Amino acid sequence: MRAADAATDASGIIPLMRKVADWQLANPHRDLSANPHKSTLSQIGWVQAAGYTGVMALAELTRDEHYCNALRQIGEKHGWSMLGRVYDADDQCIAQTYADLYQKYRDPKMIAQVTERFDYILAHPATSILKFEPSVNPGHRNRWSWCDALYMAPPAWLRLWVATGKKQYRDFVVTNWWKTSAHLYDDAEHLYYRDDRFAGVGEESAVREANGKKVFWSRGNGWVMGGLVRVLQILPKDDPARPRFERQFREMAPVVLSCQQSDGLWRVSMFDPASYPLKETSGSGFFCYAFAWGINNGLLDRATYEPAVLQCWNAMVACVTPEGKLTHVQPVGYDPKSFPDDSTEAYGSGAFLLAGSEVYKLLAK
């Protein structure tokens, strides 16, 4: 698909999504044999697992067994396990794909270890505080103390609820989402801090950008918007917890929209794009996904948000190489940073595929 055609032609979206997924599956980028940071490098760590959520969206959109089989092979290779950190949300991201595959194939082994892990957490809840500072709080990653966690863990817990009918999984998500929100969501700005190191204590002590504004990281808020979508996809319409999630989604959306740049993408800093002029496609991909899903499901006004969706999709398409590599993806990090134009990571491709799945539905209507 040519970039010029992307915003108006649904027919080219799936072929392009296939190209990106195929390239990503063939090029995981990271040396999976070397493990100084196992959660980052592992084939079932969060970097790859977030990418698989997009591959799964493509599989569901196309009903193509090729992609399901690729994901099943990964699950089989790793014995349908997660990494060893019991409470860490990052290590739970892979469970989203396991649970989705279970819904399709109904093979109990696909969720057996996930169920064991989550049941242990329910029986032995983490008692650490939410402060994200290891010198003060050694268990700082045992709770959802950083905003990325809201993409990694809650959709996995809710999918296991659907698979098993065990309501405690749903209740765990509802309780802990709002604890994290109370800690990291800025009620005035309607955005999330990545963690409390950026929020500080009180208005005056919050970390600031070069222009004096608060530090809100694009991909961090993309993780949250994507997480909200994946929570709302699961919660029934009559669930008493649903209105509060919808309200936060609608609160964040106009602020995110106001930060979109003239080329259709977002920059790594929401409030100081001038300090980081580089294009960035992972946060942009999650915002595009969230906006398109919101339109498709009646939560966002189509006339207001569709132009932003199509402009962003167009801009992301222009960042895909002829081989299918998505470029302009900020590397692993936790705050706004500069990076090379050709940088890519699996989670960026995942965001692109999720966005494509919803843009296709939007244009196919």
- Return the active site residues: 148
What distance in Å separates the CA atoms of residue 298 and residue 318, rounded to the nearest whole number?
28
Tell me the three state secondary structure of residue 192.
strand
For residues 231 and 259, give the distance between their C-alpha atoms in angstroms, rounded to a whole number.
24
The phi and psi torsions of 273 (rounded to 5 degrees) equal -65, -25
Residues in the chain: 365
Q: What is the DSSP string of 26-38?
A: H---S-TT--TTH
Neighbour count for residue 89 (Cβ, 10 Å): 25
**DSSP H helix total and E strand total for the chain:** 16, 2
Distance (Å, rounded) from C-alpha 305 to C-alpha 252? 13
Buried b vs exposed e over 312-342: b needs ≥16 C-beta within 10 Å?
bbbbbbbbbeeebbbbbbbeeebbbeeeeee
Could you tell me the maximum CA-CA distance found in the chain, to the nearest angstrom? 54
Q: Determine how many CB atoms are found less than 10 A away from the CB of residue 14.
A: 17
- Nearest Cα neighbor of 172 from 233, 248, 246, 120 is 120
Instruction: Find residue 217's DSSP bridge partners.
Output: 269
